[in-house]
Structure formats: structure tokens, C-alpha cells
Amino acid sequence: MALFLYLHFPALQLDHLQLSAQSSKLPVALVDQQHQLLQINAAAINAGLKLKMGLASAAALCPDLQLLPYQPEQQAKVLHSVAQQLYQVSSDIALDKPAGLILRLDGMLQLYGGLEPYWQALSAKLTALTYRYQYSCGATPYAAKCLAYQQAGLITADNRLFNNALNSSPLSATELIPAMQLQMTRLGIHTLGQLQALPPAELARRFDSQLLSYLGRLRGDYYHALEYLQPEPGFSRYLELLYDISDSTVLVKPLATLLQQLEQQLSQANCQCYQLLLSLFFRDNPPLKLSIGSAQGEYKAQAWLALCQLQLENLPLPEPVYGLQLDVNHFAGQQHSTAALFNQHQARMSALQLISLLQARLGRAAVTGLTILNQHLPEHASLRSLPLLKGDLVDNQTKAQVQAQVLALRPAFLFNKPQPLTEAVTINQGPERLCPDGWQLAAQRDYFIGRNQQGQWLWLYRTANQQWFVHGLFS
């Protein structure tokens, strides 16, 4: 007989946030778009707050309540990571978003030699995770879920216990939509027991198939398909060197072996990866960890090796290396299709490849792009950004407007810090007056275009108290 365990995490996102914040003394609540409380912490419960309470009453009851928005994607990530971690002790785990996990147990019982030892292992793992949870076993996923919602906590395979508990379950613990629950209440039907006592034929004449399909799955009459979690692929290999290597360039050869293996695995999965983690192990010193990235994604060992070489070239080693470890946490995307057979050798590398190369050589921080921002003040009108990133001008209308404005004459070179004007200039155009914002009228600047004795075109400004600065140079 099949046996399922349902784990319900009533406040997953909040608990997760609190883990990192470590400030559980303050009452905190997550609210949804309708300003209802969805998750609350212990301090908030103590203040008398309840789930589904409106923001107004909540605020009145507990004025120092901290509010955070409920983010389903965030919670889904946490749920996924919980499942990943439980995967170490239990194999068949299905995600039941937004806050539940369904574990199929019958396979595991043999492995652990019974329910009791299995539950011990699992609950130890759960306790370590520190998220609040409710649980129960059940003969079907829905039965376990319904019981877990009521915090039944049944760890058993006894069908009689299940049935008793299910029969007295309120409809609010079921999967029936609220409208259906209301309809049942208004027929005087409040529990699953009352509902199940009605002949299915009579129900079929009155309600849609959803109800019958729910009841069927609840009882196990209908098959309930579950999609079990697949462990995430990744690459992790350790290579002990045959002899210690003290010249970093010599490391390339053993590394090539590892990269070959990686390429093989990537090819099998038709994937590529964006980042490698290379660890070098020493006898006395702690291991040295290098991260090597490729902006466009790569799977070829040759390409990766070239990038690694660049990093290794200038790397001083504190002592000889005795082992290498190569880790790739995420495989991603599809491999690029190979270039057409008769294509000429066009540009040797793509822009992305060039950037990877520059970054490997100069360091990540040294390579940036430039984006135009929608701001009046010159120092705010552009921004260093990731290379090759398109600007943040979102909608087309503003884009057009901004483009018209950008056509305003602006110098190609802007000083980081404006220089005081020290030479004689002749003013050619201006003034253009700019205020930093509505609050700093005194900080307004009048910009002019002028020319110095050498014939350079300068971008100048005058402050409110008549001081002159050079802010940029026209090319």
C-alpha cells in the first residue's frame, strides 16, 4: 500500500528571512496584494495577530509591526532548496507549491527498516532547517495534506486512524475552492465525513467534476500523478597530482584533463556553463580558490583552458600544489550551434569572448560599459554598467524624449570631479541652467560652452556664487 507524508511550511518565506535577519523579537508579517497577513512570526502571534487579518486591524493591534511583501518566487526557491536538502534522506519528493512537500514513503520504509527510524532521520533534518512545519502521513497525497493542514501529526500507516481523522476534518482543510466550501456550508455540510457520506451519484448530479475528482484522489480511487524532484546536475572532480607542481603554468596540463571531462559531461547534457571554480590544494597553506567566468557561456575544453591560462599565468603560488579540484555548480542553457562549415574565419572572437578575455586579464572590475540615464545633471546622466548592457530606458515614449534631449550638445569627456577654471575662455553658447532637484535651488549651475586660448572647446559652469568650473571637454 502506498503511504505519503505531507510537510506543510506555514511561514516559509518569513522563517527564511528571519534566519538571516536574526531579529525575531520584533513582530513581523508578510502581506499580500490585498493587504492581508499571510505569514506572521512568533512575536506577531503574541501580539494577537492572526492570519488573513487585514492590515488595518493588524496595525491597530500591533503598531510596531514590520511589514514585508509576500514574494511567491522567493518562497518557491526556498521550498526547492528545502526539498534538495531533504533529498539526502528521502528519495521521492514532490513539490506542492507554494508551501508544501509530498514525500512518498513506501519505498523508504524498506531502506530505513520501518516508519520510526525513517521519521527520526527526517525530523532531525527538518529540525536542523529551523523552518516551522506541520506534518502528517496519509494513504494518499491529499489525505496527508488535509491532515497536515490540521496539524494532525500522524506518523503511522494505520488506515483506520486516517479515516477517523479525515472524517472529522473541516472542509477548510481540503483543496475545495472557497466558493465550493461556502456552498457546502450552506447545505449544512461542514466536515469531510458528512461530504463522503453522500452518495457520489447524488453529488455528480449537483456539482462539477472537480469535487468528485478531489474526493476520488483523496480516497485513492483515482491516480494522483506526482512529479518527483530530480537532483540538479553539476560537475565536481578532484585530481590528485602525480607530483607537486610549483610553476603555475605547468598546471595547465592536468587541468586540461579535468576540462576534457567537463566538456564530455556538458556535451552529454547538451549544456554549457558560465563559471568554473578551481581549487588548488597545498600542503601547509589553505586551498586557493579561483573563479573563472565566461560571459557568453562555453562548453569547449579548449576555450576554458585559454581563459584559465590567462589567470594562471601571473598567479604566484605560495608553495607547490598537490591537488586540483574543479567544480561547476550550474549547467545552463543550450550549446551554441556550430558555425557553418564553410564560414570564413570572420572575427576571431565575439564581443562577449573579448570581454571574457579582458576580464580574465585585467580583473572583472576593470572592464565596464557606459549607459545613458534619464537625468538632467551630467554627473548622473551616465553610469558605468556591465559591459554591453543596454540602457535602462524602458518605455519607448521616454526613450524618444530622452533621445531628443540627448541631442543637446554634451562633451564626450566628462571629468570625474569638475576642475576650477584657471584660464581665460571665450563663451560661445549658454547659459543652460540646471537644478540638482526641486529642493536645492541654491545649488543651480549655469552651463556654457567656451573655448580656451589653445582652441580647446570646454564645457563650463558657473555656480550661484559666481565660481567657474570646467566639467568636460569636447572632442
Shortest distance in whole angstroms from residue 295 CB to other proteins: 29
Shortest distance in whole angstroms from residue 109 CB to other proteins: 24
- Whichever of 24 and 181 has its CB closer to other proteins, that residue is 181
What's the rounded Cα separation, in Å, for the pair 15 and 108? 28
- Whichever of 145 and 445 has its CB closer to other proteins, that residue is 445
- Whichever of 315 and 400 has its CB closer to other proteins, that residue is 400
Residue with cell 586540461: 256
Shortest distance in whole angstroms from residue 35 CB to other proteins: 6
Cell (9 digits) for 471: 566639467
Give CA angle at 182 (176, 187), nearest 5°: 110
DSSP states along 103-155: EE-HHHHHHHTSHHHHHHHHHHHHHHHT---EEEEESSHHHHHHHHHTT----
What's the rounded Cα separation, in Å, for the pair 197 and 212? 13
3-state secondary structure labels for all residues of 173-210: HCCCCHHHHHHHHCCCCCEHHHHHHCCHHHHHHHCCHH
- Whichever of 324 and 460 has its CB closer to other proteins, that residue is 460
Distances (CA, A) of 61 to 18, 33, 50, 51: 22, 20, 10, 13
- Whichever of 135 and 445 has its CB closer to other proteins, that residue is 445
Cell (9 digits) for 170: 473541516
Between strands 273-282 and 37-40, the pairing is unpaired
- Whichever of 203 and 252 has its CB closer to other proteins, that residue is 203
What's the rounded Cα separation, in Å, for the pair 369 and 14? 37
- Whichever of 124 and 464 has its CB closer to other proteins, that residue is 464
Going through 91-186 in order, the beta strands assigned E by DSSP cover: 93-96, 100-104, 134-138
Binding site for other proteins (CB under 8 A): 31, 35, 48, 53, 55-57, 59-61, 63-64, 66-67, 69, 185-189, 196-202, 204-207, 216, 219-221, 373-376, 398, 401-402, 405, 408-409, 429, 431-435, 437-439, 441, 444, 446
Shortest distance in whole angstroms from residue 372 CB to other proteins: 10
Shortest distance in whole angstroms from residue 141 CB to other proteins: 16
Shortest distance in whole angstroms from residue 168 CB to other proteins: 16
Cell (9 digits) for 323: 591537488
Shortest distance in whole angstroms from residue 185 CB to other proteins: 8
Shortest distance in whole angstroms from residue 40 CB to other proteins: 14
- Whichever of 189 and 239 has its CB closer to other proteins, that residue is 189
Determine contact, residues 364/376, Cβ cutoff 8 Å.
no
- Whichever of 200 and 318 has its CB closer to other proteins, that residue is 200
What's the rounded Cα separation, in Å, for the pair 137 and 1? 13
What's the rounded Cα separation, in Å, for the pair 278 and 291? 6
Shortest distance in whole angstroms from residue 11 CB to other proteins: 18
Query: Helix, strand, or coil here: 32?
Result: coil
Give CA angle at 217 (115, 92), nearest 5°: 40
What's the rounded Cα separation, in Å, for the pair 359 and 402? 32
